[in-house]
Chain A
Amino acid sequence: MKKKIPGAIIKTAFPTIFQKPATVGYPFEPLKIDDDYRGELTYDAEACIGCSMCMRDCPANAIEIINIGTKEDKKFKAIFHLDHCIYCGQCVDSCPKDALVMSNNIELASLDRNNLKVERE
Chain B
Amino acid sequence: MSKNLVIPIGPQHPSLKEPACFTITLEGEKVIEADIGIGYNHRGIEKSCESRNYYQALYIIERVCGICSHSHSTCYLSGVEKLAGVEIPRRAAFIRTIFGELERLHSHLLWLGVAGHEIGFDTLFMYTWRDRELVLDILAMLCGNRVNYGINTLGGVRRDLEPQHIDDIRRMCAKIEERNNYYVNLALSDATLAARLSGVGMLSKEDALKYGAVGPVLRASGVKSDTRRNDPYLIYPEIPFDVITYDSCDVFGRVVVRVLEINESIKIIRYCLDNMPDGDIIAKMPRKIPAGEVVSRYEAPRGEDVHFIKANGTDIPERVKVRAPSEANWHSMAHMLKGDYLADTPIIIAAIDPCYSCTDRAITLNNAAGSKRTDWEAIRKHGIEFYRNKGVDVSRILLPEKINY
Contacts and interface: CB of A to CB of B under 8 A. Distances in A.
A58 B60 CA distance: 11
Contacts of B53: 56-57
A60 B144 CA distance: 19
Contacts of A56: 53
A3 B190 CA distance: 9
A90 B133 contact: no
B395 interface: no
A89 B144 contact: yes
Interface string A24-66: 0000000000101110000000000000000011111100000
A42 to B, nearest CB: 15
Contacts of A36: 141, 143-144, 159
Contacts of B60: 59
B275 interface: no
Dominant SS among interface residues on chain B: helix
B342 interface: no
For chain A, which range describes its interface: under 10, 10 to 19, 20 to 34, or 35 or more residues? 20 to 34
A116 interface: no
B188 interface: yes
B140 A37 contact: yes
Contact of A90 (B55, B124, B182): B55
A22 B190 contact: no
B186 interface: yes
Interface in B179-234: 182, 185-186, 188-192, 194
B41 to A, nearest CB: 18
B186 A8 contact: yes
B189 A86 contact: no
Task: For chain B, give the interface size range.
Answer: 35 or more
A94 B144 CA distance: 18
B188 A84 contact: no
A2 interface: yes
A88 B258 CA distance: 30
B125 to A, nearest CB: 11
Given A5-B191, A12-B182, A59 B150 contact: no
Contacts of B127: 9, 12
A77 B55 CA distance: 24
Given A36-B144, A37-B140, A38-B145, 17 more contacts: A1-B188, A4-B190, A7-B192, A8-B191, A13-B123, A22-B130, A37-B144, A57-B56, A59-B55, A59-B56, A59-B58, A60-B405, A86-B63, A86-B148, A89-B150, A90-B56, A94-B55
10 contacts: A6-B190, A12-B182, A36-B141, A36-B144, A36-B159, A37-B140, A38-B145, A57-B55, A90-B59, A93-B158
Interface of A: 1-9, 12-13, 22, 34, 36-38, 56-61, 84, 86-90, 93-94, 102
